[in-house]
Structure 1
Amino acid sequence: MNVLERDVCRIVCETGLAAVNHGFVEQVETIRSALPHLVGEPADLRILQAALLIGLSRGHEALALLAGDASDEANTLRRLIESASQDALTIPAQPSPPPQLA
């Protein structure tokens, strides 16, 4: 792969990360399906796929993908998933009613 091809692959991967951040689900799924053709290193592919799955609120799938990966990147993503899970438990499902004034 030449430098231009590598740069294009990198930009497409970065676009996927930006797309998931902005809620472009259909575009993220398209890029996610192309990742195996864009990323040659299996460890990098796994991290990118997991990051996109987290952005798509599919943390359980991301955790399964990261199973057995002891890299710093995988550990960071696992902490992110755990943090998001804990936040979901502490945020009330519905807003509290306003206090009654006497």
Structure 2
Amino acid sequence: MSKRDLTDKGTISRKYAKKEILKTIIGYLVFYASWMIVTFWLLYFFEEIPHFDWILWILFYAVVIPFIVVLVSVTWYSYRYVKMFSFEVLESDIIIQHGVFNR
């Protein structure tokens, strides 16, 4: 393989990281919104009226703290992945210099 066969080289766009973060946020919100709906429906079904401060604690401990942890970890990983990934496309091969290619 000579460098004359090189047809393209580059990295992943930073937009990829933003899209991954957005997908994670939407997935997280859908999961926890459905979880909260089921939880409050079960409370209503069993005729348990939760106190307002219980609802705030549930929202804080079960939604906000895990959301912050997931968001920070996904943001760190996505931008780190984009920063580390680089490749070269030759006429016969794809050379990945850094990162993992899984698609």
> Which range, TM-score by smaller chain?
under 0.3
Bigger proportion of residues as helix: 1
Greater relative CO (CA pairs within 8 A, separation 6+) = 2
TM-score normalised by length of structure 2: 0.26
Larger strand share, 1 or 2: 2
Question: TM-score, normalised to structure 1's length?
Answer: 0.26
Rg: which structure is higher? 2
